Amino acid sequence: MADNIFAKIIAKQIPAQIVFEDDRALAFRDINPQAPVHILVLPKKAIANVGAAVTGDEALLGHLLTVAAQIARNEGIDSTGYRLVVNKGRDAGESVPHLHVHLLGGRSLNWPPG
């Protein structure tokens, strides 16, 4: 898993438009945005996907959500609304084996999403 693109972004081997970073998480703008605001929030810990999270990861998973909420406030989309998406598996559209949360907003989002 250390060779995936997100691990390389965390290691600063590949540049990204980083909007948040602390000791547990990193967030950056998606290079193929699906909404005016499309930011990926990921743990620095290598977790392949949400199904690979284990007991003990709860605080980290919660941290990803609170980071996403703070970024939404910073981006000015908190008052109009935003969507958080976590994909797991091929049928869900997961393409990088590193857990990440998509923060999408800045326009009206359709439901159902797929």
Q: What positions carry a catalytic annotation?
A: 100
Query: Would you tell me how many other CB atoms lie within 10 Å of the CB of residue 1?
Result: 12
For residue 85, report the phi and psi dihedrals to the nearest 5 degrees.
-130, 135
Residue 41, Cβ density class (10 Å: 0-12 exposed, 13-18 middle, ≥19 buried): buried
